[in-house]
Structure 1
Amino acid sequence: MLILNTDPAYRHALDPADAATLGAEAAAAALEVVALRPEYRPTPLHALPGLARGLGVAAVHVKDEGHRLGLGSFKALGGAYAVIRIVQEEAGRALGRRVEAADLQSPDVRAVAAGLTFCCATDGNHGRSVAQGAQLVGANAVIFVHARVTEDRVAAIARFGAEMVRVDGTYDDSVEEAARVAGRRGWTLVSDTSWPGYERVPGLVMQGYTVLVHEALVALPEPPTHVFVQAGVGGIAAAAAAHMALVLGDRRPVFTVVEPERAACIFACARDGGMAKIAHGEPTVMAMLECYEPSLVAWRVLSRVADAFMTVTDDEAVAVMNRLARPAAGDPAIVAGESGGAGLAGLIAASGDPAARAAIGLDGRSRVLVVNTEGATDAGRYRELVGMDPAAVG
């Protein structure tokens, strides 16, 4: 199902704080920090001409975050970046001088970091990023996971030295518990969602995500005319939509936000005309997108710069995983996790619906960008859904 943005704020200017966090200068600042890491490389941008012909569009490109910084997800850019920025600020205050990213391994800065504890709630990928960021700077990390997070994903976080805390209930329950414990213990909460009074740190997380959008725009032969990006609480979608609107101006693409139909909190905001918390229902296979309440900052951005909102089914998401693993017509094979191909599932669904095509102007001249937000971050689950070992794909 696809609906157009009818919010009163649609096409209005971004909040000045959001524009400063997600524009070209902010992306350059984030890239400067990320590029100091020796393992940094821009992630691949794959052209899928065979799929494009089948969908009746001019081009489809996939930004493949399955290769990001050894974590296999775009989240590697967000939580770790926020941790690094906060350590720079805390060390600067403690040492009475400006602390650059290049100073992070100095003994005096690491001594400050050693006294800090960062925590967050996660479905898996964000927690890995926060834990990795803490390990990089010599800080401590405590990661809260809810009942549905698999043991493979818990182990992937714990290998960075983080203390793991299991919380009964859903992702939203783990967010509340992480915030409560952080306040009581004096820890620094690094959440990828935001609420009234807690916006700056999630903004830093979103600023980290602008790196992948910048990389994509540099690598594309022409700016895209259409973009489909998935949303959980909305951070990556908001970062991508805002950055493109600010950088491309009148050439901005038609931007569609894609969510699981079983956890479509952003869609509910667009349908109902404001922030909406939806009821918990049957779990979705798109575990990294299973969120029932949007980020305040993300919706504030998307209400202005997203053009359409849509939902996809679990079957459509799994079909994309298999389609990318076994491509036709000479397209490259791509490993996409359960949530990674949701944006592409949205494109495929919209391209097969004449009313949706007309609503967003999708036609034979359209150049479409989607983001594979994660690779096989749970290899066992990938084998179950695709029937292949991720290492054998391609």
Structure 2
Amino acid sequence: MFTSNRHIAHSPYPDRLKEILNIAAVNESREWLAFWPGINMAGTPLWTLPGLAQQFGVAHISLKDESTRSPLGSFKALGAPIALVRLIKRRWPEHALSADDLFAGRHRDLLAHFTVISATDGNHGKALAAAAQAIGCGCVIVIHANVIAEREQAIAAYGARIVRSAGNYDQSVEEAARLAAQNGWHVVSDTSYEGYEDVPRDVMQGYGIIAAEVIEQAKCTPDHCAFTHVFVQGGVGGLAAGIVGQLWEFHQLRRPRFVVVEPQEADCLYQSAVAGRLKKATGSVDSIMAGLACGEASPLAWKMLEKGADHFMTIDDSEAVQAMRVAAAGNVFDPPLVIGESGAAGLAGLHALLRQPALKAEAGLDAQSRVLLISTEGATAPSVYEACVGEAAESVLARQAAWLPPSSTTR
């Protein structure tokens, strides 16, 4: 399914949206995260894929590879840690706590009885648990019935207490809020709800770092965007909002088109775009794209996407799996890439549109199009990845290492 946004604002970046996301806050987040050991703040690869561009009939395809952001294996390493730091700084303003000291664990005594909690499909919870472990506070993660044991174990490895709830992701969000109220814990969620916007805003500001790096790597200027189209994952909308906000503020009226892609069974953003207001997903909210299997959009993220995203579309699980295989295969011009189930959504969405002439034209895709894709994760569930691709991630990475020098494929 595909729809164009009837409420898109063809205007400079609005001041009211700067209150949610702005370049200054993203830059500050970037500076603070540089103090977290183990995270790659030098910039993740921006691969150029000329073979795929030729095959798809567009001028250029670049792919931002967040699998190498940290040992966590996903872009979530940018959101939860910065939100946790900002939350702690707001909680103890009289201490003038620095990100440097917090990430170094120098305030463990102060935080000994401070506990954070969040619901997750996997990656956000793992990032929050890792940040809490480094900083020295308690962490409780709520996972729902469909989260596989492999993802649960990856979170627990960072010292978090795991609570498994019934139902889907949205119900686990409700359970996390209930437990927080009952125990005096603090929710660090990437989705907003009534009365809860500060932390999700901070998470989105962390995600904006991805776009900030792309601007530098692709040598963009305010008057020239290296891309005509950006395909970005949906979910609750936080990542999409972070990317849209950063590129819209930087390029203003010269911003690229944004296409938001989500699973067919978790189509809350698509349905919201069709209705012109927030709507719940119409499907089962169960997808192999676990990180995008959300039934309700974040109202805060929707404020950005309602005016900033040009198109919304859905894909089915088989299209995501096929995109994973295409990326893993590589070709004579493009390196083999490890892209996880949710990370493949943008590539799958681009491929789906290009196969449908009417929708391709509506999205403005043609032989001159320059497309940016964002791979949000690597093989964060190795067994799932191998089952989808038919090859272990380690094998794909070995073929990547044997490929041509990276300087010939990245900006």
Q: Which interval holds the TM-score relative to the shorter structure? A: over 0.9
SS class of match (1:22): coil
Letter aligned with residue 392 of structure 1: S
Contact persistence 2:150–2:381 (CA under 8 A): yes
Give the direction of change, closer, same or farther, for the CA distance of 1:107–1:177 in structure 2 (3 Å limit).
closer
Deviations 1:87-138, CA, capped at 9 Å, x for gaps: 2333333x3xx22212226776322222210000000000001111111110
Corresponding position of 2:212: 214
Is the alpha carbon distance of 1:103 and 1:134 closer, same or farther for their aligned partners in structure 2, counting shifts above 3 Å? same
Match of 1:179 in 2: 177
Over the aligned positions, Cα root-mean-square deviation in angstroms equals 1.6
The CA distance in 2 between the partners of 1:136 and 1:70, in whole Å, is 14
Unaligned runs of 5+ in 1: none
Contact 2:36 2:104 in 1 (8 A): no
Deviations 1:151-208 (A, max 9, x none): 1100100011000000011001100000011011111101111112111110001111
Match for residue 24 of structure 2?
25
Q: Which amino acid aligns with 1:388?
A: E
8 Å CA contact 2:132–2:138 kept in 1: the answer is: yes
Residues 318 and 106 (structure 1), Cα distance of their counterparts in 2 relative to 1, 3 Å cut = closer
User: Aligned partners of 2:158 and 2:291: how far apart in 1?
Assistant: 20
**Aligned-pair distance for 1:13?**
6.5
Q: What TM-score, normalized by structure 2, do the two folds share? A: 0.91
Partners of 1:160 and 1:310 in 2: how far apart? 35
- Runs ≥4 in structure 1, deviation > 4 angstroms? 12-17, 105-108
Output the CA distance in 1 between the equivalents of 2:112 and 2:128. Answer: 15
Which of 262, 267, 271 pairs up with 1:264? 267
Q: Is the 8 A contact 2:80 2:131 kept in 1?
A: yes
In 1, the alpha carbon distance for the partners of 2:281 and 2:355 equals 28
Q: Which residue of 2 aligns with 1:125?
A: 123
Matched, 1:379 2:382: yes
Asked if the contact 2:208–2:245 (Cα under 8 Å) also holds between the matched residues in 1, the reply is: no
The answer as to 2:84 corresponding to 1:88 is no
**How many Å apart are 1:286 and its aligned residue?**
1.0
Q: CA deviation at 1:14?
A: 6.0
With over 3 angstroms needed to count, the CA separation of the structure-2 counterparts of 1:219 and 1:327, relative to structure 1, is same
Give the TM-score, by structure 1 length. 0.95
Indicate which of 127, 145, 154 corresponds to 1:156.
154
8 Å CA contact 2:12–2:249 kept in 1: the answer is no
Q: Which residue of 2 aligns with 1:307?
A: 310
Name the counterpart of 2:5. Answer: 5
User: C-alpha distance in 1, partners of 2:81/2:104?
Assistant: 18
Superposed displacement of residue 16, structure 1: 4.2
Provide the secondary structure at the position in 1 that maps to 2:92: helix
Aligned residue type for 2:18: A
Q: Which residue of 2 aligns with 1:354?
A: 357
% same residue: 43
**Structure-to-structure mapping, 1:104-253, within 5 angstroms:** 104=102, 109-222=107-220, 223-253=226-256
Q: 2:330 corresponds to which letter in structure 1?
A: P
* Cα pair 1:91 1:109 within 8 Å, conserved: no
Distance verdict in 2 for CA 1:17–1:111, change over 3 Å: farther
Answer whether contact 1:283 1:290 (CA < 8 A) is retained.
yes
Distance 1:27 1:253, change over 3 A: same
